[in-house]
Chains A and B, each alone.
Chain A
Amino acid sequence: MRLERREHRPVYLLVGSPIAAVVSALLLAGILIAIAGAPVLEAYRRILIGAFGSRLSATETLTRATPLILTGLAAATAFRARLWNIGAEGQFYVGAIAVAACGSNMLAGLPGPILIPALLLIGAVAGMVLILIPLWLRLRFSVDEVVTSLLINFIALLFVSMLINGVLKDPMAFGWPQSQSVVDHAMLPKLVARSRLHIGLLIAIVLAVIVHFLQTRTVFGMQSRAAGLSPQGAAFAGVPLTRTLVKVACLSGGLAGLAGAIEVLGVKGYVTTDLSPGFGYSGIVVAMLANLNPLGVVLAALFTATMFVGADGMSRSLAIPTYIADVTVALSLLTMLVALFFTQYRIRR
């Protein structure tokens, strides 16, 4: 038995691999549910009901998918250029805290139609600034950006914790560490009345389409892909490597920062240190499940959000820890890697 590289990748394999990955992840997680002594099919039925069973739960799932689309896009754009940005979690938080700082007092006097775009831009820029640190370290000192961007996540979270316990602390929050709230007219309009779903979802989907366009139809898209496939080859073909990487980093960090900004302006209005239940890390799974395709990211984010929101309801009724959602999502990353392998190789006897 040996492995043989495929000459070309058939479309059915590319479309089929995420589906196969998700199904096998669900099967493996099903074993864990069974070991815990709960009926597996019933558990999955309840996850679906929990995620889409009512108008409220469906809007909640879409609300949860919104930041995941953006962090998924952040990972997808960076990974395509082999820029290992694992710092989306930190970029999310600095985006969020920048918006909370500017939207609660500094810029609060501006009218809504100017204020909201300005705040979104500020969040994105904050994310860009944060990702430029690991990129600079890579370009200047050849430090692997994986470890630095991971370590910066911890620093960013402590920084946010410092601000919301200090200068940005809301004096009205009964001593809880949370930032001051942004002014009411800075909040994003709701998409569905009497729910938490806001227009951030549309922004995220439009951005997915724009990123798709950028990657398939522009010189920048070609250059970032070339930089990922073979840096030497790309440099030889005249691709400005450093400039391309900086652009990719700004796009990726900006998207993650924007995710934080939108989460503040769309849902909470203020920042706490549990604003993100690992959106940055889940974004990596979302990107991989989508095979780094920006449009696929939307679907992968929807799957991930379904698991997280659905598991909440299932956990209450069947006494299975909600962590089963995290386990399933992590498993789907591993199974997707294996599935991708089989789109590239075939087994020959």
Chain B
Amino acid sequence: MNVIVDIISSAGLWAAILRIATPLIFGTLGALLCERAGVLNLGIEGIMTFGAMIGWLAVYHGADLWTGLFVAALAGMVFGFLHAAMTVTLGLSQHVSGLGVTLFASSFSYYVFRLIVPVAGTPPTIVPFQPISIPGLSTVPFVGPAFFTQTAPTYLAILIALLLAYVVFRTPLGLAIRMTGENPHAAEAQGVDPIRIRYGAVIVGSALMGMGGAFLTLSAFNSFFPTMVQGRGWICIALVVFASWRPGRALFGALLFAFFDAFQLRLQTVVQGIPYQIFLMTPYVLSILALAVMARRARVPQALMQSYRSGER
């Protein structure tokens, strides 16, 4: 018991939570935006991988960190456009198209990376985002080091979550997005163009996914290596369901998830005799549990995964 209390009362744990949560916040918000407009985007895992690679590569070639993050967002938009073209314009299976985007984006990332960065014993590194101490707040004991000495993209992720919550529930644009996800035919009758809304949501959502991936290489780590996204994209898809398609709850879900992840990482180092793989399994097991608990209770956007063509039922 003492061990658990020790872990929970260390400021390091709480600082790690925000760090672990950041890519999940970006990714979950991105997936949530797509799904609110009625498009499941399973391209997320690949888009995060590509964002991680291209953001890192830009910085490695001399761009500054914010440009790297921006490049990752742009790349995400390109893949988002691809997914939207496949699922919205052509009305193809959102499952298969998303998986195709993931397979393509991740193998393309590895290809580009290997082509430009030759094989080396130690992977080349960049100087990542440095923690920013928020004046005044960061000196508060315990709370300061835990919550107010994060890197800039972490604060950005939280801001975007609040912004998205506002846009989705408090603006005409948000209403149009939600209508398109619930009933595109009704949305069109109200003068909303469902095709345009879906394209926009998928492209912007994919940009967020790309930024989530880039956080891994530009802030959490300082190098890129294949398979580094490690299923975070799929976890985000699960978190969207857990969050019941609400941005505020998505932020909470990502933080809760990161709490368990940070906790198991620390538990690993103090508890002896349990194989480390058991600890590494917990994020995936938790995601499945979260899905099982929430899937029935959550209100799914009614037109999710339904293709839409004007004048066709």
Contacts and interface: CB of A to CB of B under 8 A. Distances in A.
Contacts of B291: 137, 141, 143-144, 147-148
Nearest to B290: A143
A321 B110 contact: yes
Q: What is the predominant secondary structure among interface residues of chain B facing chain A? A: helix
B161 interface: no
Contacts of A152: 284, 288
Interface string B280-305: 11001101100111011000000000
Contacts of A170: none
Interface residues of A, number: 46
A158 B276 CA distance: 9
B235 A151 contact: yes
B285 A337 contact: no
Interface stretch (B97-105, B181-189, B253-261): B97-105
Nearest to A315: B114
B90 interface: yes
Interface string A162-174: 1001100000000
Contacts of A3: 309
Interface residues of B, number: 43
Nearest to A340: B92
Nearest to A328: B107
B292 A323 contact: no
B248 interface: no
B245 interface: no
B110 A151 contact: no
Contacts of B111: 32, 321, 323-324, 326-327
B278 interface: yes
Contacts of A284: 96, 99, 103
Contacts of A155: 281, 284-285
A162 B276 CA distance: 8
B114 A321 contact: yes
A146 B96 CA distance: 10
A141 B95 contact: no
A143 B287 CA distance: 11
Interface of A: 3, 32, 36, 79, 84, 86, 137, 140-144, 146-148, 150-155, 158-159, 161-162, 165-166, 281, 284-285, 288, 320-321, 323-324, 326-327, 329-331, 333-334, 337-338, 340-341
